[in-house]
Amino acid sequence: MPAKVALLSLHLHIPGADSLKAKRSRLKPLLARLQREFNISVAEVGYHDRWGEALLGCVALSTEAGHAQRTLQQVAAWVDRHWRDVEVHGDEIDMLT
C-alpha cells in the first residue's frame, strides 16, 4: 500500500522578536514539542530573514490520507490554542501523494 504524505504550511507571527536569535530561541522549543506530541517532521522553511515571522513546514506520513490530514489539522489547532509565544496567521494543508 503506497504511503500518503500531507504537508502543513504554517505561517506564524512572533510578537516581540527583535532579532533572529530571539526568533530562533522561541521557535526551537515549539519545533521540538510538535515533533514529540504529533510524531511529525517539522522545520522552519521560510521567512528566515524576518524577525517577527516564520513559515513552518510540517509533514505527516500515513497509509491513509485522511489520517495524515487530520493529524496536521490537529497540529494547527494545537499551536493556536496552546503556544502563546506565536500567533497563527495562516495554515494550508496539501496532500503530496
Banded pLDDT at 30 (limits 50, 70, 90): very high
Residue 13 has pLDDT above 90, yes or no: yes
Question: What's the CA gap between 9 and 44, in Å, rounded?
Answer: 10
For residue 63, the enclosing domain spans: 4-95
Contact 84, 95 (CB under 8 A): no
Question: What local confidence, expressed as pLDDT, does residue 15 receive?
Answer: 94
Residue 69: give its domain's CATH number. 3.30.70.1120
Question: What local confidence, expressed as pLDDT, does residue 2 receive?
Answer: 86
Question: How many domains does one find in the chain?
Answer: 1
Question: What's the CA gap between 46 and 57, in Å, rounded?
Answer: 9
Question: What's the CA gap between 44 and 97, in Å, rounded?
Answer: 22
List pLDDT tens digits, range 55-97.
999 999 999 999 999 999 999 999 999 998 899 999 999 999 7
Nearest to 42 by CA among 10, 12, 69, 74: 10
